[in-house]
Amino acid sequence: MKTGDIVFRGASKSELSSAINDVTQTAKKNTYTHMGICEVINDKIFVYHSDLGKGVVRESLEDFYKPDEATDYSVDLYRIKTISNKQIASAITKARALINKPYNVTYILEDEGFYCSEYIYELFKNDSVFKLEPMTFKNPKTKTFHDGWVKHYNNLGIAIPEGKLGCNPNGMASSENLEFIGKIN
């Protein structure tokens, strides 16, 4: 693993994880619902990521693998194909500067904080590694809003931001700018 590598965590059994995965499937059939960026310091691997309930944090790779006692996650490693060491250093500097920012529970880019993929997008925004796409919260089979998202946005008291620009782990893992390196757990 190298500093600047991107790690993607598979879906868990939580309602929000299921809602994310169900509506963001790609042609590659990824099942990712969380992601972060690695930094290697003296052979120890850290992951910067934005997690629900924590906000933006830096944790050991082991803590990223298994954020709770109940669930085993699969974690896959990707590398940005063409990026300079200077661009990676800039992304890590930004990653550090954003620690302790809140999690963006609305998934609306303009709102305070960062959801996981928004955080990674922000780190590489000036490098055009990832693209924003219109978001959908609809079940692809029924073409109606996914029950998990209906409940989430009802609890927030706001409209579902269908069609607003955003990003998600499955879509970002499908980027032509990333190379799959392999499973790491």
pLDDT in tens, 1-17: 999 999 998 865 545 54
Choose between 149 and 66: higher pLDDT.
149
Report the 10 Å Cβ neighbour count for 133: 13
* Domains with residue ranges and CATH for the chain: 6-183 (3.90.1720.10)
β-strand partners of 79: 179
Rg of the chain on CA atoms, in Å: 16
Which range scores top for mean pLDDT: 62-76, 103-117, 125-139?
A: 103-117
| SS3 assignment, position 150 | helix
Using the predicted structure, report yes or no on whether residue 72 has a pLDDT greater than 70. Answer: no
Torsional class of 174: left (φ above 0), alpha (ψ -120 to 50), beta (otherwise): alpha
User: What is the model's pLDDT at position 32?
Assistant: 86
Q: What is the mean pLDDT of residues 12-36?
A: 60
User: What is the model's pLDDT at position 33?
Assistant: 86
- Tell me what the pLDDT averaged over the chain comes to: 88
Cα–Cα distances (Å) from 67 to 3, 5, 157, in that order, read 21, 19, 28
Using the predicted structure, report yes or no on whether residue 175 has a pLDDT greater than 60. Answer: yes
User: What is the model's pLDDT at position 68?
Assistant: 66
Choose between 2 and 29: higher pLDDT.
2
Q: How far, in Å, CA of 69 to CA of 2, rounded?
A: 27
User: What is the model's pLDDT at position 12?
Assistant: 52
User: What is the model's pLDDT at position 11?
Assistant: 62
Q: What is the signed CA dihedral for 130, 136, 137, 140, rounded to 10 degrees?
A: -110
**Reported pTM:** 0.88
Using the predicted structure, report yes or no on whether residue 170 has a pLDDT greater than 60. Answer: yes
The pLDDT confidence band at residue 126, using thresholds 50, 70 and 90, is: very high
pLDDT per residue as tens digits for the range 76-116:
999 999 999 999 999 999 999 999 999 999 999 999 999 99
pLDDT per residue as tens digits for the range 157-168:
999 999 999 999
Q: How far, in Å, CA of 149 to CA of 145, rounded?
A: 7
